[in-house]
Structure 1
């Protein structure tokens, strides 16, 4: 039996700051990143469609301050504020925030805040994860028709703007789809996200290092954001 991971949503309008939070979340096995958002308005919508246990929330954002956003929530998740401005600390704690992280956020300080959440979380268990499926098919819309692709034939996926390139043993398909949606669809199969733009079939990996994964003589980049998760999964 395993402890259930804490499902996290990260909200920040500054991409570099958001990348730091995402990287920290992915480095902690007890955390699960379920989404990111650049503003409170989009985050509000995401909270209605996703199960979120812990919200990492910037305070100074366009349209709606993080503190004002929290006040609109009837049943907010556990909350950790992230900001560059110390003067918001008192207001943050008044909103029952678990902690208040000042940017730039070190991993050590991040982990200290997360441990507070873990200590407060109820101890629940879930069944051991099922063995990833190797059979089955995926369907992709391309050139006005839908193509059926055997999962076991897929080498990797590459995101190119609003499109996904599906690379298999004998063909390449281009379809309009977001890589984040595709990643959710692949949850029951043995794939790993190695980069913002790449998802790879784990059983098709020929070799790997911290920076590169080789699949069918093709070298694909491993980004710093996903490196720890990639190493954990491949080991």
Structure 2
């Protein structure tokens, strides 16, 4: 499900740059652009908005005044040329604070924070414990310059490459993403995935065979780490 975003800025050039950045990220959907906070109020009444790119110094109402008046509040990334508002902005629990001129790689870092913080990034189970009624559960991975949607049902295993991970899917694709394997371990449902080694997480549903020292999954034999063995064996017994 894309992140629906709204750009609120009184500088046409700033809007143009942010607009071009949004178009380069598949996981973002632009709802619209506004030149002041009053216009943004009207848009928020009519449209579902997940994320605001919000300038601070604007006519009629500042970005900070606007944010304080919102209820409920979307995720907010402040975009401004003024450093002095940084402390106050973080007290308002914004996702990030981008200083103009904004570079695309810095913009991507902010989007990654939004993706990580969204409870729906991995739509596995609702608070009631019942399966999510909408789409199959998925996650977004940053691959090159894009946020790529990966369905959990398609993952065979995940391999750690220090600060990166390699995600192998059922159709043979390999996605390399700047992400820690420990972060994904926390996000993935434990009844479907298990960490079997410091460098590997596997899908329990994709296991073809196993022994006391390794598991065959996705056509690859993956080792079972000594410190993970007892937990792995418990998980395998639950599958019988």
Summarize the alignment of residues 39-58 of structure 1 with structure 2, pairs less than 5 Å apart: 39-58=36-55
Instruction: State how far apart, in whole Å, the 2-side matches of 1:28 and 1:74 are.
Output: 28
RMSD between superposed Cα atoms in Å:
1.1
For 1:151-166, list aligned pairs within 5 A.
none
1:126 deviates by: 3.7
Matches for 1:186-225 after TM superposition, within 5 Å: none
Per-residue CA deviations over 1:137-169 (Å, capped at 9, x if unaligned) read xxxxxxxxxxxxxxxxxxxxxxxxxxxxxxxxx
Matches of 2:108 and 2:43 in 1, distance apart?
25
Corresponding residue for residue 16 of structure 2:
19
Taking the aligned partners of 2:16 and 2:86, their CA distance within structure 1 comes to 22
CA distances 1:100-149 after superposition (whole Å, capped 9, x unpaired): 0000000000000000000011224648xxxxxxxxxxxxxxxxxxxxxx
Alignment of 1:27-106 (within 5 A): 27-106=24-103
Larger radius of gyration: 2
1:117 maps to: 114
The two structures have a TM-score, normalised by structure 1, of 0.52
| Partner Cα separation in structure 2 for residue 126 and residue 94 of structure 1 | 35
The C-alpha deviation readout for 1:16-63, integer Å capped at 9, x for no partner, is: 011111111110001000111000000011001000000000000000
* Structure 1 stretches of at least 4 aligned residues deviating more than 3 Å after TM superposition: 124-127
Unaligned runs of 5+ residues in structure 1 are 128-235
Deviations 1:171-218 (CA, angstroms, capped at 9, x unpaired): xxxxxxxxxxxxxxxxxxxxxxxxxxxxxxxxxxxxxxxxxxxxxxxx
CA–CA separation in structure 2 for the residues paired with 1:36 and 1:27? 16
Tell me how many residue pairs correspond in the alignment.
124
By how many angstroms is 1:12 displaced? 0.3
Higher relative contact order (CA 8 A, sep 6+): 1
Deviation at 1:74, TM superposition (A): 1.2
Q: What is the TM-score with the length of structure 2 in the denominator?
A: 0.51
